[in-house]
Amino acid sequence: MSVLAAAVTAVGCMTAAGCTGARSSGDGARPSGAPPTGGSSTAAPSLSADPAAAARALVARLGDEDLVGQVLMPYVFGTDARSVSAAAAESNRGYAGVATPAEMVARYRLGGLILMRRSDDPTGPTNSATNIESPEQVRRLTAGLQGAARALPAGVPLLIGADQEFGAVTRLREGVTQLPSAMTFGAAADPALTEAAWRGAGTELAAVGVNVDFAPVADVLGPAGSAVIGSRSFGADPKVASGQVAAAVRGLQGAGVAATLKHFPGHGHTTADSHSTLPVLAQSRQALDAADLPPFRAGIGAGAWLVMSGHLDVRSVEPGVPATFSRAVLTDVLRRQLGFGGVTVTDALTMEPALRWPPGEAAVRALLAGNDLLLMPPDLAAAQAGLLGALRSGRLPRAHLVAAVTRILTVKLRLAGFAQPDLSLLGAGPHRAAAVAAATAGVTLLRGACGRPLVTGPVQVTAAGGRQRQRDWLAAALRAQGAQVVSSGGTVVHLVGYGDGAADLRADAAVTVAMDTPYVLGRAGSGTLLATYSSAEASMTGLAAVLVGKARPAGRSPVAVAGLPRTACR
């Protein structure tokens, strides 16, 4: 019998995969709401009356290497657990001294792994690995990884995470329902739409074996509009953002995927990028409480199982120390003031602010500050050695490590109570309908006539930067709405998106549409200005309905745009 099976049996569970009884609201997590309906067939959780008790029984049986392994969440190279390319094997050897992901799980007794995909989004500098190709491939990979974890003496399943924020930062892009960006949801400001959409998205993540989503982003944008966060945020209003964050948490966790609030205590009031430097949060403690912390409070209140610490210099709490390494921020503020009892995970330890210490030292400092999971240590062997050395020397108290691992195992036992959905639910009709409903509700008119069609007659769709996919989606959606789409000579509808500026605007466009943050619209001369905040297909579908007058542009810009109202539809 594995350690997991023995511990589960000790608290009266029926199997190692899940226990009968009601969900617990202990240890900082509350029930996530009713079972999913519609296109989501995720089974209602079946857990012991106290998963934390099962976790305590389990952790008492773990040795030093198993305890240390549970707090490590590295990346891996390769698209299969046991069979990888020569290049991936070489990369794994350079990172962790093993050839395959399964060997990495076995050697380091890992608690989790993050799946990645190379990208040109704000997180690109830290995305060194690629192991996401298709939903079917990801499901095979995650099944192989979990098989490697079950083969260990502890038999403890893995937390398998991904940055599936939707919008600019999205790892699984093909074959799954794509939600619009967080800012779209902020513009719609309808928590019911948000919860339904994120529940569908969570069901599809669970189907491919991803049980932790490093989302939602709980950062509130300041007046300068953080470029690294941008449309990843629900907006600049703490109250609106709070409702949206809570709804996303309920949706994800209702589908059996752990939500992660990030980047604590808030990355939105700085314009610097924590991938390459240490951003400074200069606001007063009072301003931090009023403008940055509310969405984190709301997400914790909704039962979020994880919070990600940010590499941020919070001057009003502990100046000069990145929040990831600040006990004052993570223990005093997050745990004591906000009452969070779940799992705290670092932002990537491969980012510049975390590299000021050697990997082993950074791992120890991060854990002592109040983190439980160490995400993407730059040298896995060094991180493990540093933690084992600190544990055996007494610098890292065993009780501290045990508490961290107990929180991690509690989340794992909660997740184990959900049945894995079938791949047939990927792109399910109700999931796509929920995405389109939210995307349509978020479309915002910032200039133009409200209450009538915004285009009549032939329409010509153009786009900056060769965004052919979005042009095609919008053209197809317009045709489906009965509009005539032409290649030249029609009313010009011009699309601008992520990374575009004033030079990407078109002077002869009758309608200009911002598919990312709407700030560029302040410099557009078109008579009609619209924002979708997202370039997802669902957003183009909603935009088409608004353009032909079959849907009202009822959104309200979540951020201020120079010279424009938050909405022209009052």
- Our CA angle for 551, 517, 547, nearest 5°, is 20
Can you read off the two tokens belonging to residue 79?
């698209």
Q: What is the CA radius of gyration of the chain?
A: 23
What are the two backbone dihedrals, phi and then psi, of residue 216, each rounded to the nearest 5 degrees? -85, 160
Whole-angstrom Cα distance, residue 471 to residue 469? Answer: 5
What are the two backbone dihedrals, phi and then psi, of residue 134, each rounded to the nearest 5 degrees? -155, 160
Whole-angstrom Cα distance, residue 342 to residue 251? Answer: 18
Half-sphere exposure of 508 (CA within 13 A, CB side): 8
| Residue in the structure block whose two tokens are 């629900």 | 234
Q: For this structure, is 347 an active site residue?
A: yes
Helix locations, 302-455, DSSP H: 327, 359-369, 380-393, 398-416, 429-442
Whole-angstrom Cα distance, residue 539 to residue 418? Answer: 31
Q: What kind and span of H or E run contains 430? A: helix 429-442
Identify the DSSP state of 334: I
Q: Of 435, 447, 444, 497, whose CA–CA distance to 231 is shortest?
A: 497
Count other C-beta atoms under 10 Å from residue 15's C-beta: 12
Whole-angstrom Cα distance, residue 445 to residue 552? Answer: 9
Question: Of these residues, 347, 379, 500, 516, which one is catalytic?
Answer: 347
Give the N- to C-terminal CA distance of the chain in Å, as an integer: 65
Q: Which residues contact 456 (CB under 8 A, 6 or more apart)?
A: 491
Question: Of these residues, 275, 311, 431, 494, which one is catalytic?
Answer: 275
Identify the DSSP state of 129: -
Count other C-beta atoms under 10 Å from residue 34's C-beta: 10
Q: For this structure, is 213 an active site residue?
A: no
Count other C-beta atoms under 10 Å from residue 563's C-beta: 10
What are the two backbone dihedrals, phi and then psi, of residue 399, each rounded to the nearest 5 degrees? -65, -35
- Contact between 313 and 377 under an 8 Å Cβ cutoff? The reply is no
Catalytic residues: 275, 347
